[in-house]
Amino acid sequence: MYMLPMSLEVIDLTDAHRQLLDKLSELVPGLAPDSPQSLQRIFGLGLIALTMQVTTKARQQDQNELVEELGALAKAVADSEGW
């Protein structure tokens, strides 16, 4: 696994993002807004959501090879996270 060094101080969150993160931490078990592990989890979920959007658009444009590649990558991430 490739790990990027991360410090919470280098992630600049807007007030709106911080409020959303705080609210989500009330609703999602194990999500701690000041935890690098939680931010990594959120980042991973965001990548999956973005991948789904791009895959949908690629499907509409008959880019089947891209759909398959993105699907395989997203599945590998989801499997590695135990989702």
Q: Is the residue at 9 inside a domain?
A: no
Q: Is the residue at 12 inside a domain?
A: no
What local confidence, expressed as pLDDT, does residue 83 receive?
65
Q: Is the residue at 56 inside a domain?
A: yes
- The backbone torsions φ and ψ at residue 27, rounded to the nearest 5 degrees and listed phi first, read -105, -25
Q: Is the residue at 19 inside a domain?
A: no
Which residue is it, tokens 């658009």?
57
The predicted-structure confidence for 26-77, as pLDDT tens digits, reads as follows 988 888 888 888 888 888 888 888 988 999 999 999 999 999 999 898 888 7
Residue 44 domain boundaries: 35-83
Number of structural domains, the chain?
1
What local confidence, expressed as pLDDT, does residue 62 receive?
94
- Token pair recorded at residue 7: 């410090």
